[in-house]
Amino acid sequence: MSEQPIASQNEPYAVDVEGGKTYHWCACGRSRNQPFCDGSHAGTGIEPVAFTPDKSETVYLCGCRKTANPPFCDGTHNNL
């Protein structure tokens, strides 16, 4: 049975990422290592979202888990 993701916060996480490095965004909202996966999704039916940025920069990762563009914030939290 698949569970629903939970919001870890109702604003994005500003994260400095390194170009070429793969990251795993927590899609379930249960990780203690927000906004990244720590394996807490086990048994939820929700899998983390892997992404590899092209360049080193600050990205804004979704905290509300309602974005239409995972793992990136699209402003949906402003309408919750």
Q: How far apart are CA 46 and CA 40, in angstroms?
A: 10
Q: How confident is the model at residue 1 (pLDDT cuts 50, 70, 90)?
A: low
d(CA 64, CA 56): 24
pLDDT (tens digit, 9 = 90+) per residue, 13-57? 999 999 999 999 999 999 999 999 999 999 999 999 999 999 999
Classify strands 49-51 and 23-25 as parallel, antiparallel or unpaired. antiparallel
Structure tokens belonging to residue 14: 């500003």
